[in-house]
Structure 1
Amino acid sequence: MTDLARVALDLARDLVRIDSRSFVSNLAIADRIEAELSGFEIERLDYVDESGVAKRALAARRGPPGGLAFSGHMDTVPDTGWQEDPWSGRIANGLLYGLGSADMKGQTAAAIVAARALPDHVPATLLITTDEETTKGGAKAIAERSELARGLAAILVVEPTSMVPMRGHRAHVQFTATAIGVQAHSSTGRGRNANWDLVPFLSAMREINERLRTDPALQDTAYDPVFSDFNLIIDNHGTAVNVNVPRATATIKFRYSAGVDPIFVVEGVRDAARRFGLALAESWEGRPPELPVDHPFVRLCSETTGAAPQVAPYGTDAAELQAIAPCVLLGPGDIGVAHRPNECVATADLAAAVPVFMRLAEKVAEQGR
């Protein structure tokens, strides 16, 4: 293992050991990352999320402006299903285990080490976000407020793509439909269960889901799967089974690509909420980012890795960061192990990514000159 690889692995373990689930403050992990950025000019982009939790995104630059930026996020999904310590950072059989190891603390560590190791004449910029798994709040803060991010030529979002360049991905609209009932002991007949008001809406949502999966006019054959994601979560907010539910919510994440018009789904959800008397809230990401196959940055990433560009069915901070510069997703690790118990990434893959990141930054700088 090279010195750079060892440093990247040590940093990745340190980051995994810090709890940075999206609903907790990320200030501790932001401080840990900032400690690695000696010699960089740093912007701390602080904000308070929708739940009143303090958050911080970081932009950092060393060397001349412009060039390539590396972007990674600090937050993780919840530790659902984990039977071992999610923050152990243990290494076994060449794998680093822990919540966020593959999505995307390992990749973020590799990018930080690559940026630090670049020659002084090569621009080295880092855009380190948070709330990527929820609202993209950190990426929005950078896109709207960062001075250091101005003038970039391109952004490499180092999500786990098995080092295959992804020239685009889907973006999402999140819907939350709320039904209100009357809380009472369920045996008394004096309450009203909000779930019964939710049922007809859910039936309409099932029809939309089936249409997305079967109608070629609503699909994009460039993606795998070809149909848009329409994922449903139902929440009774802790109500016991012997209590009439006073509040029931159905939250749906609808992911669509640039080649799909979302209006069929959006109007269908809105109409069902109106018909069945539910309150409806919507949250939109930026438009789906998608560069053409022959875009210069896409070609450069493909030539450097030897892999043909593809598109990704999930979403990333590129939905917001594309406002700054063209974005390509490229990083070590397998997205298939993310958001699951026993998430892990191969240490050898992290090590191999560092010189690839450096070569890309150097080539973008050469093209700029």
Structure 2
Amino acid sequence: MTDTSPVKLAKSLIACPSITPATGSVFETCESMLEPLGFEVSRFVAGDAPEQADLGGAVENLFAIRRGADDSRHFAFAGHLDVVPPGEGWHSDPFAPEIRGDLLYGRGAVDMKGSIAAFVSALHQLPRDLGTISLIITGDEEGPARFGTVALMDWMAERNIRPDLCVVGEPTSVHRLGDMVKIGRRGSVNMWVTVNGTQGHVAYPHLADNPITRLGKILSEIDELHLDGGTDWFQASNIEFTDLHVGNPAHNVIPARAEGRLSIRFNDQHSGDSLSQMIREIVEKHGGKLRPVISGEPFLTPPGELSELVATAITDVTGVEPELSTSGGTSDARFLSKIVPVVEFGLCNATMHKLDEAVAIADLDQLAEIYALIVRRALG
């Protein structure tokens, strides 16, 4: 009998090196898991044009669907097979999955090959005529995210495919499996500030224009901003300075250029454009230039049917009552929220992106059980 346990499936996925942007064997492995379950699997590469190389390069994506009756609801699971680089210092090969004690070690065990394995394992517990089920799987979540889920959404739109409900399998649990479900995320915008001046000798400042002085005024004025006090579901927006650069090797020279960088995580009282305009007015008042890059807008799936489905299944399996939260960084749910109600739920995140990333085998088993219960109730 074929072993369809989540730990077996997770080991198969972890064994495929898939540093972002991912292509190749990890998708072949995922496809081989889904086709015997009756899924129609489509794979395609996006971002492979020469002019797109600087934007992240070629990314492989996978969309799998098992259709129910024409009038059946459509439940989607979304995730990513790419992983961050493992780094040096692991106690075992990060791409040779290893069980030590009660834990499965390997890059992606938590973020998020383990979650994908748990969902595929859950599918084996469900009748094939339950309803329409799909998997939206990218190889570009950990990278620039330009040719991953966004490209999948375009591909789906061209084929008039639109889910009714979606769960993203990001590792949202904190202290134990099921203690937190994400129903939204703050937005993110990074901004580069450049101030050009006139180089000169420090003894003759009247013949120069020091850009550091003006950059300091810009950053001081930005630091004084109070964006908001938070909302019922979101914490307060925050501005953090992340880099200062002048690159002046001489102690007696006023430099010609100074640069700074800041990052804003913001709630739904703002947009990336509104914050960019706010900061631009300050920067340009002092003669600087601003280059903003918006990596995500805030989203919220208000508590309702989907969050209740997920929370109830968690409690029924684990006895834990999850907290509904919008904390943390961004995920591909920020894109999917534009077309479908979406929440995020997955494994404990304590070791994600760390050396010796590991997942509790018992958590994998329970996660598969929770996912099966969610889908059964969503489509039943």
- Confirm or deny that 1:62 pairs with 2:59: no
2: CA distance, partners of 1:208 / 1:86: 42
- Confirm or deny that 1:338 pairs with 2:342: no
Map residues 276-287 of structure 1 onto 2, 5 A cutoff.
279-287=289-297
Q: Post-superposition shift, 1:206?
A: 6.5
Q: Post-superposition shift, 1:13?
A: 2.5
Q: Does the 8 Å CA contact 1:67/1:361 hold for their aligned counterparts?
A: no
1: CA distance, partners of 2:85 / 2:213: 28
Q: Which moved more, 1:249-258 or 1:339-348?
A: 249-258
1: CA distance, partners of 2:332 / 2:43: 18
Are residues 103 and 263 of structure 1, via their aligned partners in 2, closer, same or farther at CA, if it must alter by over 3 Å? Answer: same
1: CA distance, partners of 2:242 / 2:19: 19
Are residues 175 and 361 of structure 1, via their aligned partners in 2, closer, same or farther at CA, if it must alter by over 3 Å? Answer: same
Q: Does the 8 Å CA contact 1:219/1:260 hold for their aligned counterparts?
A: no
Residue in 1 aligned with 2:89? Answer: 83
Residue in 1 aligned with 2:153? Answer: 143
Residue in 1 aligned with 2:266? Answer: 256
Q: Post-superposition shift, 1:67?
A: 2.3
Are residues 180 and 220 of structure 1, via their aligned partners in 2, closer, same or farther at CA, if it must alter by over 3 Å? Answer: same
- Confirm or deny that 1:74 pairs with 2:81: yes
1: CA distance, partners of 2:323 / 2:74: 21
2: CA distance, partners of 1:13 / 1:198: 53
2: CA distance, partners of 1:178 / 1:338: 34
Q: Post-superposition shift, 1:288?
A: 1.9
Are residues 181 and 146 of structure 1, via their aligned partners in 2, closer, same or farther at CA, if it must alter by over 3 Å? Answer: farther
Residue in 1 aligned with 2:207? Answer: none
1: CA distance, partners of 2:8 / 2:357: 17
SS in 2 for 1:302: helix
Q: Post-superposition shift, 1:363?
A: 0.9
2: CA distance, partners of 1:257 / 1:107: 27
Q: Post-superposition shift, 1:113?
A: 2.4
Are residues 124 and 342 of structure 1, via their aligned partners in 2, closer, same or farther at CA, if it must alter by over 3 Å? Answer: same
Residue in 1 aligned with 2:324? Answer: 310
Whichever residue aligns with residue 279 of structure 2, its letter is V
Residue in 2 aligned with 1:32? Answer: 29
- TM-score, with structure 2 as normaliser: 0.75
2: CA distance, partners of 1:25 / 1:199: 44
2: CA distance, partners of 1:291 / 1:317: 14
Residue in 2 aligned with 1:363? Answer: 377
Residue in 1 aligned with 2:206? Answer: none
Q: Post-superposition shift, 1:127?
A: 0.6
2: CA distance, partners of 1:97 / 1:200: 50
Q: Does the 8 Å CA contact 1:73/1:132 hold for their aligned counterparts?
A: yes
Residue in 2 aligned with 1:108? Answer: 116
Are residues 261 and 240 of structure 1, via their aligned partners in 2, closer, same or farther at CA, if it must alter by over 3 Å? Answer: closer
Q: Does the 8 Å CA contact 1:285/1:319 hold for their aligned counterparts?
A: no
2: CA distance, partners of 1:199 / 1:17: 53
Q: Post-superposition shift, 1:71?
A: 0.7
2: CA distance, partners of 1:333 / 1:362: 23
- Confirm or deny that 1:350 pairs with 2:369: no
Q: Post-superposition shift, 1:317?
A: 0.9
Whichever residue aligns with residue 172 of structure 2, its letter is T
Residue in 2 aligned with 1:129? Answer: 138
Residue in 2 aligned with 1:190? Answer: none
2: CA distance, partners of 1:149 / 1:323: 15
Are residues 312 and 203 of structure 1, via their aligned partners in 2, closer, same or farther at CA, if it must alter by over 3 Å? Answer: farther
Q: Which moved more, 1:100-109 or 1:254-263?
A: 254-263
Q: Post-superposition shift, 1:275?
A: 4.8
1: CA distance, partners of 2:140 / 2:295: 12
Are residues 260 and 63 of structure 1, via their aligned partners in 2, closer, same or farther at CA, if it must alter by over 3 Å? Answer: same
Whichever residue aligns with residue 108 of structure 2, its letter is G
Are residues 308 and 267 of structure 1, via their aligned partners in 2, closer, same or farther at CA, if it must alter by over 3 Å? Answer: same
1: CA distance, partners of 2:10 / 2:359: 10
Are residues 78 and 203 of structure 1, via their aligned partners in 2, closer, same or farther at CA, if it must alter by over 3 Å? Answer: farther
2: CA distance, partners of 1:143 / 1:259: 26
SS in 2 for 1:10: helix
Are residues 40 and 222 of structure 1, via their aligned partners in 2, closer, same or farther at CA, if it must alter by over 3 Å? Answer: same
Q: Does the 8 Å CA contact 1:59/1:128 hold for their aligned counterparts?
A: yes
Please list every run of 5 or more consecutive structure 1 residues that lacks an aligned counterpart in the other structure.
Answer: 183-195
SS in 2 for 1:173: strand
Q: Which moved more, 1:318-327 or 1:13-22?
A: 13-22
SS in 2 for 1:102: coil
Residue in 2 aligned with 1:15? Answer: 13
Q: CA RMSD in A?
A: 3.7
- Confirm or deny that 1:322 pairs with 2:337: yes
Are residues 282 and 234 of structure 1, via their aligned partners in 2, closer, same or farther at CA, if it must alter by over 3 Å? Answer: same
1: CA distance, partners of 2:167 / 2:307: 10
Whichever residue aligns with residue 355 of structure 1, its letter is E
For residues 244-288 of structure 1, what are the alpha-carbon distances to aligned partners after superposition, in whole Å with 9 as ceiling and x for unaligned? 999986554422222456677433432354356655433334532
Q: What count of residue pairs does the alignment treat as equivalent?
A: 341
2: CA distance, partners of 1:198 / 1:86: 44
Residue in 2 aligned with 1:168? Answer: 184
Residue in 2 aligned with 1:44? Answer: 43
The structure with the larger Rg is 2
- TM-score, with structure 1 as normaliser: 0.77
Q: Post-superposition shift, 1:323?
A: 2.3
Map residues 188-203 of structure 1 onto 2, 5 A cutoff.
197=211, 201=215
Aligned residues with identical type, % of pairs: 26
Whichever residue aligns with residue 145 of structure 1, its letter is W
